[in-house]
Amino acid sequence: MANEIKRSVTPYKLFTQRKNNNSTRFIGKFLLYFLLFLSAALALLPFYWMISTSLMTLGETINRKWLPAVPQFVNYINAWKEADFAKYFMNSVIITLTSIIGIMFTSTLAGYAFARIKFFGREVIFAIVLSTMMIPETITLLPNLMLIRGNIIPLPGGSWMNTLQGLTLPFMANAFSIFLLRQFFAQIPYELWDAARIDGCGHFRFMAQVVLPISKAPMMTVLLFAFTGSWNAFAWPLLVTTKDTWRPIMVGLWTFVSEAGPETHLLMAGAVISLLPVLVIYFITQKQFTEGIATTGLKG
């Protein structure tokens, strides 16, 4: 494009400028790609290190090779069986599924109501919900721990420490998911609702049969963030699980750091196992992730 514009300049100048342009452009392009590849390498290096170490023998990890001579897949079996990663993994699967179902349920209903139902005090309540986004987790940890222990109000069954409900209930609703869905639901044309109402449709049926089928993209984004948020959760499960009945994989991996000691190959195998579900889902749906975040611009 620049060349087209510069055609009005004198021929001599055009010649030198073009030549100059081409060589600088080449160097520029080269530099850009160099920076890109360097950053990509730095972003991926820890993953490479984790995978290659997880396939080494103990001797190889100590002498610090870049690649194992023979990949030791047995490390994964050892981590899976001996270090109880099988149990932690299944715990995490159940905890994550429960949280996702809860979040989808609460946030579609609330997102729909904040977008489409006119009820008294709606804006004020929505503002209060949004304001919870700036509350740091560390502040809520202690009071929530006391709540779950049954110290503040008596709970059915006494303490909820080391229980599924204790691990999942506090995460079953969040302002981010509600906000994201509300923004989308609010854009759905009102003609659709008028038509549905003439057909005798209530809010719930309209939501279930009309709104949700056309909201697959934002629902997917909410689901993905619910998934990573719950799978990656650390501080809360660390507090609430004192036994390994319901210990999720992140806490399991964390306690394994001290247990594994110098056996870094086993630790890295555990790390890869803990990462696998996130990686698989991210590679399948990465567009949803990045676009979901780009359109909301909010930290999940």
Question: From the list 59, 71, 202, 261, which residue makes contact with another protein (rule: CB under 8 A)?
Answer: 202
Q: Is 97 in the site for another protein (CB under 8 A)?
A: no
Applying CB under 8 A, the site for another protein has a residue count of 94
Report 73-92 residues binding another protein (CB under 8 A).
Answer: none
Question: From the list 14, 155, 164, 169, which residue makes contact with another protein (rule: CB under 8 A)?
Answer: 169
Q: Is 144 or 241 the residue whose CB approaches another protein more closely?
A: 144
Phi/psi at 262 (5° precision): -80, -5
Report 54-73 residues binding another protein (CB under 8 A).
Answer: 62-64
List of residues 6+ apart from 217 with CB closer than 8 A: 184, 288
Site string for another protein, 225-244 (x = CB under 8 A): ---x--xx-xx---x-----
Distance from C-alpha of 247 to C-alpha of 93, rounded to nearest angstrom: 11
Please state the closest distance from residue 181 (CB atom) to another protein, in A: 11
Report 256-275 residues binding another protein (CB under 8 A).
Answer: 257, 264, 267-268, 271, 274-275
Distance from C-alpha of 12 to C-alpha of 242, rounded to nearest angstrom: 80
Specify burial of residue 286 (Cβ count, 10 A radius: 0-12, 13-18, 19+): exposed
Please state the closest distance from residue 215 (CB atom) to another protein, in A: 15
Q: Count how many residues are written for the chain.
A: 300
Q: Is 69 or 146 the residue whose CB approaches another protein more closely?
A: 146
Question: From the list 27, 36, 90, 186, which residue makes contact with another protein (rule: CB under 8 A)?
Answer: 36
Q: Is 104 in the site for another protein (CB under 8 A)?
A: no
Q: Is 174 in the site for another protein (CB under 8 A)?
A: yes
Please state the closest distance from residue 169 (CB atom) to another protein, in A: 7
Are the beta carbons of 168 and 95 closer than 8 angstroms? yes
Please state the closest distance from residue 285 (CB atom) to another protein, in A: 10
Q: Is 217 in the site for another protein (CB under 8 A)?
A: no
Site string for another protein, 107-146 (x = CB under 8 A): x-xx-xxx--xxxx-x--x--xx--x-xxxxxxxxxxx-x
Q: Is 173 in the site for another protein (CB under 8 A)?
A: yes
Site string for another protein, 5-34 (x = CB under 8 A): x------------------x---x---xx-
Please state the closest distance from residue 38 (CB atom) to another protein, in A: 10
Question: From the list 27, 40, 67, 77, which residue makes contact with another protein (rule: CB under 8 A)?
Answer: 40
Specify burial of residue 249 (Cβ count, 10 A radius: 0-12, 13-18, 19+): buried
Distance from C-alpha of 242 to C-alpha of 238, rounded to nearest angstrom: 8
135's tokens:
């509350």
Question: From the list 13, 15, 26, 39, which residue makes contact with another protein (rule: CB under 8 A)?
Answer: 39
